[in-house]
């Protein structure tokens, strides 16, 4: 392990007000999203969609790294160029999702534990040879009156820490993702309490496993009320509570926090990220960035709809959402950016 390389890569991921774009949906998840749009659920369609994303002009202005899936990292553009090469040539760092999914946890009804540690050392070696410089592992924490349990928080945190240690041994920056889910009617205060607990547990295990925090990126949920909670706080209140929670639980040695979007709309995710940076950026120890999947991709996926003729318009929508999030990192995102936008002289329809 070369510590300086890990530190450099982790710093680059959150440098220059950029962030990560997750295009690492597993085959079943990608197929589910395609099915909703009536797009064929084939390897060819998944490849074409990922090519659309990877070849989006000027994506690297706002996106520092792309998180790929095992199928995607092995694919090529129509002209035969490996995706990895196209990504690096665009000035973007390639990353890879390495967990194998969340499975039901034994003796813990309603809870899940993420798997994928078996054989991970060998897989990381292969991904590193292919050019991946960072990795992602997602733990999911479901919420209701009686969960999460201690057992779920501890098992997921330990797996995240063992994954992170294996990544650093292989010279790969771990993106550590403990996600407290938004499904449920819990209050924002309960989300804060659980997110704080989850993060304390994760950092305790990272310490035990000797993970170097300077070479690690945290990918948490924003602190938000459950989707069906009657009380829905505004953007500023959510920003205040999220930052309070993170200041209490994330060591200053971590270079960056890159939020997941978790099903928020693109506009809301940008507005919330923006509020955190407007209100706190100048006095936070870490960069507050994004690692969004749906909140960047969704409009582009809907515009593309599986049709070659829609590629350019879909790329404009993707570029637009990425650009909004870079503005949000600077505290410069305003709702007016969402008015029908222009790009390279071509007017684009506002993404729904
Ligand atoms: P969302 O932003 O769609 O939640 O996806 C981010 C991600 O990578 C989840 O693991």
CB 160 within 8 A of CB 178: yes
Alpha-carbon gap, residue 240 to 172, rounded angstroms? 32
Structural domains of the chain, with CATH: 3-338 (3.20.20.70)
Q: What is the whole-number distance in angstroms between the Cα of residue 214 and the centre of ligand 1? A: 23
Q: Which atom of ligand 1 is nearest to the CA of 24?
A: 8
Ligand 1 test: best mutation among 21, 22, 224, 272, most atoms within 8 Å of CB?
Answer: 22
In this structure, what token pair is assigned to residue 14?
């959150």
Start-to-end C-alpha separation, the chain: 45
Nearest CA to ligand 1 atom 4: 262
* Residue 15 DSSP class: G
H or E element at residue 110? none
HSE-up (13 A, CA, CB side) for residue 181 = 16
CB 174 within 8 A of CB 117: no
Place of tokens 């797009």: 39
CB 13 within 8 A of CB 20: yes
In this structure, what token pair is assigned to residue 209?
């496993």
Q: What is the whole-number distance in angstroms between the Cα of residue 21 and the centre of ligand 1? A: 9
List pocket residues of ligand 1, CB cut-off 6 Å: 22, 138, 177, 260-262, 292-295
| Low-confidence residues in the chain, pLDDT < 70 | 1, 340-352
Nearest CA to ligand 1 atom 9: 260
Residue 342, pLDDT score: 52
Peptide bond into 270 cis (omega under 30): no
Nearest CA to ligand 1 atom 10: 138
Nearest CA to ligand 1 atom 1: 293
Q: Which atom of ligand 1 is nearest to the CA of 269?
A: 2
The predicted model scores a pTM of: 0.96
Q: What is the whole-number distance in angstroms between the Cα of residue 4 and the centre of ligand 1? A: 28
Peptide bond into 148 cis (omega under 30): yes
Q: Residues 270-281, buried b or exposed e (16+ Cβ, 10 A)?
A: bbbbbbbbbebe
Residue 339, pLDDT score: 74
């Amino acid at each position: 392990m070369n510590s300086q390389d890990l530190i450099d890569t982790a710093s680059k991921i959150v440098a220059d007000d950029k962030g990560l774009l997750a295009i690492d949906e597993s085959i079943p998840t990608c197929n589910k999203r395609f099915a909703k749009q009536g797009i064929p659920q084939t390897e060819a369609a998944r490849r074409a969609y990922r090519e659309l994303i990877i070849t989006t002009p000027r994506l690297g202005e706002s996106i520092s790294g792309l998180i790929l899936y095992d199928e995607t990292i092995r694919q090529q553009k129509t002209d035969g160029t490996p995706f990895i090469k196209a990504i690096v040539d665009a000035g973007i760092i390639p990353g890879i999702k390495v967990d194998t999914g969340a499975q039901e946890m034994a003796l813990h009804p309603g809870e899940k534990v993420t798997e994928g540690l078996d054989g991970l050392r060998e897989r990381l070696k292969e991904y590193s040879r292919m050019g991946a410089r960072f990795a992602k592992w997602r733990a999911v924490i479901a919420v209701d009156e009686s969960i999460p349990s201690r057992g779920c928080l501890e098992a997921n945190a330990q797996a995240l820490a063992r994954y992170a240690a294996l990544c650093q041994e292989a010279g790969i920056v771990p993106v550590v993702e403990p996600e407290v889910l938004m499904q449920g009617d819990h209050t924002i205060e309960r989300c804060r309490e659980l997110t704080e607990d989850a993060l304390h547990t994760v950092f305790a295990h990272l310490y035990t496993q000797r993970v170097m925090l300077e070479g690690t990126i945290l990918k948490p949920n924003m602190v938000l009320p459950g989707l069906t909670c009657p009380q829905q706080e505004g953007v500023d209140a959510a920003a205040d509570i999220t930052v309070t929670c993170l200041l209490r639980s994330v060591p200053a040695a971590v270079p960056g926090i890159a939020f997941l979007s978790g099903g928020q709309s693109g506009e809301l995710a940008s507005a919330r990220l923006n509020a955190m940076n407007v209100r706190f950026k100048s006095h936070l120890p870490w960069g507050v960035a994004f690692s969004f999947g749906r909140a960047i991709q969704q409009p582009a996926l809907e515009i593309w709809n599986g049709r070659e003729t829609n590629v350019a318009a879909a790329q404009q929508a993707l570029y637009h959402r990425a650009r909004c999030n870079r503005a949000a990192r600077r505290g410069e995102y305003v709702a007016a950016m969402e008015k029908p936008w222009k790009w390279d002289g071509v007017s684009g329809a506002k993404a729904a």
